[in-house]
Amino acid sequence: AREPRDRLRVAIQKSGRLGDPARDLLSAVGLTWRESRDRLFCFGEGLPIDLLLVRDDDIPGLLTEGVADFGILGRNVLAETGLDGTAPGLEEVRQLGFGPCRLAIGVPEGWDYEGPAQLEGLRIATSYPAITQDWLRRHGVDARTVTLSGSVEIAPSLGQADVVCDLVSSGGTLRANSLKPVETLLESEAVLAAPPGRPEGVRGELADLLLRRLDGVRRVAD
Ligand code: PRP
Ligand code: ZN
Ligand code: MG
């Protein structure tokens, strides 16, 4: 049998928008690490709190499987894996205030958009099929989602889809692809996520300590 873990593990994005600010936040609460050479695992030095550097999409699975105790990821990813059944029941423990964006439907610039009914029968390219289908269902619209893991915005000009449902931050990516946002499905930002309940033993105490310190630096920052 595996030994129970006595160190806390926090999974963050290895590269991408949320990785550096997540790491900066954890540094600001006083954590330090000895980096491994491949930079996938950072061993905590002062406190026994280690970092896992992974793809954001893998964080819900790591939490569900108990490989990580906390994860910092976009609410959009947490919502998608909660809805599609791959990582149900994870909790949004704190919202972290960085990485704001929204999940939006983007249609060709020239369209006169009048409402969800206009999407009936169309193909929607997205990396968030569960959130998109949930929204369509709630608006009584029947449309097909085409699931792509990246470069979603190019699908309409390639003829692979009619519209997109993707994250919008500055709006630059949609504009560069002659699309415009017309519906917001979800307001997102970086969040701290965890499996339900407190970890047992020493990890539970470390979890409480980390949350207290996070609340402390966030209060100072607000
Ligand atoms: C999102 C989204 C767009 C871009 C939009 O990707 O998929 O590509 O950001 O931002 P803009 O409105 O400022 O142009 P993200 O960086 O989250 O990476 P990912 O799609 O690989 O998760
Ligand atoms: Zn991603
Ligand atoms: Mg992208």
192-222 pLDDT, tens digit per residue, is 999 999 998 999 999 999 999 999 997 766 6
Task: Decide whether any atom of ligand 1 lies within 6 Å of the 173 Cβ.
Answer: yes
Task: Give residue limits of the domains in the chain.
Answer: 8-99+189-221, 101-188
> How far does residue 151's CA lie from ligand 3's centre (Å)?
6
Domain 101-188 in the same topology as domain 8-99+189-221: yes
CATH superfamily of 8-99+189-221: Periplasmic binding protein-like II (3.40.190.10)
State which residues of the chain have pLDDT below 50.
Answer: none
Question: What pLDDT score was predicted for residue 35?
Answer: 80
Strand bridging mode 8-13 / 179-188: unpaired
Which atom of ligand 1 lies nearest, measured to the CA of 56?
Answer: 22
CB 94 within 8 A of CB 191: yes
Question: What pLDDT score was predicted for residue 4?
Answer: 77
Domain 101-188 has CATH 3.40.190.10: yes
Task: Decide whether any atom of ligand 1 lies within 6 Å of the 69 Cβ.
Answer: no
Residue nearest to atom 21 of ligand 1 (CA): 150
Ligand nearest to the CA of 179: 1
Task: Decide whether any atom of ligand 1 lies within 6 Å of the 166 Cβ.
Answer: yes
Question: What pLDDT score was predicted for residue 48?
Answer: 97
Write down the ipTM of this complex. 0.91
CB 157 within 8 A of CB 66: no
Task: Decide whether any atom of ligand 1 lies within 6 Å of the 170 Cβ.
Answer: yes
CB 99 within 8 A of CB 74: yes
Which atom of ligand 1 lies nearest, measured to the CA of 152?
Answer: 7
- 47 Cα distance to chain centroid: 26
Whole-number Å distance between alpha carbons of 64 and 51: 17
